[in-house]
Structure formats: structure tokens, C-alpha cells
Amino acid sequence: MASPKYDLFNYITLEDATWHQHGVFWPVEGAQKLIATEDGGAVMYLDQVSTKGTWLITTLDPDYPFGSYFMPATERFLDGFLPWLAEGEI
């Protein structure tokens, strides 16, 4: 976790967000890395600087593994992520 105090992590743990990812991003300066790799790449980050909006960007893809019932972490991730998102915490 690059930002363990970020409020999303009141809903999910790092283990809930740990399965394969599809590469990493190298965020623009000023973006907040939430989950990072050891070499500084971002698996999940929050960008509130490059546009007038807010982007939560991730290389995690829980949809297919969750629907195929073969990766339990994706269910835990969605069980925390979706309520966090619905509550407007972003």
C-alpha cells in the first residue's frame, strides 16, 4: 500500500486487492498512488490533477475472476470497494 491511510483501506485490505494485475501505470506528478509495486509503478492510483474530474485508475480487473468464481480475493475486493464507491468516499 502506497497510501495506507486512504479511506478506501477502511473497506478493503491489501490482501483483498492482491491477485494478478495487468501491468502498472506511471502516474502524472501530483496523482496519489494507492497501491504500488516495489519499483514505484502504480497498480491503483487517484488522479485529481490531469483533468477537472476524479479518476480512480487500476490495473486490477475483478469482474471476470469474480464472475467465474475462481479468485476469492475479487469477491472480498468488490464487497468493500462497491460500498466505498456508493458512499461517495472518493
- Residue 69 in domain: yes
Decide if 57 is inside a domain: yes
DSSP output for 32-64: EEEEE-TTS-EEEEEE-SSSSS-EEEES---HH
pTM: 0.86
Q: What percent of the chain has a predicted confidence (pLDDT) above 70?
A: 97
8 Å CB contact between 12 and 76? yes
Split into its structural domains, the chain has a count of 1
Q: Is residue 1 part of a domain?
A: no
Whether 80 is covered by a domain: the verdict is yes
* Residue ranges making up the domain that contains 41: 7-84
2 domain residue, yes or no: no
Residue 89 has pLDDT above 70, yes or no: no
Query: How many Å apart are CA 33 and CA 78, to the nearest integer?
Result: 19
Mean residue pLDDT across the chain: 90
Q: Is residue 90 part of a domain?
A: no
